[in-house]
Amino acid sequence: MRTTFVLPDKLVSEAMKITNSPTKTALIKMALENLIQREKVKGITDYFGKLNLNIDIEKMRRR
């Protein structure tokens, strides 16, 4: 998909240096992938302490 953006040059330059991204397109793709991954992890952490797995550690060790 082609899209036109107006992005701050300083911000893009710094991001390209930090990530060693060869192109602006690669940089944007990397940023979107990282954003998606971070949001998915955030969704998983919402379940912390809410799942009852009924795991018997001793029974598993005897196997």
Q: Confirm whether 15 is domain-assigned.
A: yes
Domain membership of residue 4 (yes or no) is no
What is the reported pLDDT for 16?
Answer: 96
- Is the pLDDT reported for residue 15 higher than 90? yes
Q: Is 53 part of a structural domain of the chain?
A: yes
Q: What does the pLDDT average to over 53-60?
A: 80
- Does any domain span residue 24? yes
User: DSSP class of residue 23?
Assistant: S
Tell me the whole-structure pTM to 2 decimals: 0.66
Q: In whole angstroms, what is the distance from residue 11 CA to residue 21 CA?
A: 13
Structure token digits, residue 5: 């953006």
CA within 13 Å, CB half, 51:
7
Q: Which residue has the higher pLDDT, 53 or 11?
A: 11
Task: Please tell me the predicted confidence (pLDDT) of residue 45.
Answer: 74
- pLDDT bucket at 51, cuts 50 / 70 / 90: low
pLDDT tier, 42 (very low <50, low <70, confident <90, very high otherwise): confident
Residue 22 within any structural domain of the chain: yes
Quote the domain boundaries for residue 47: 9-62
Indicate the number of domains in the chain. 1
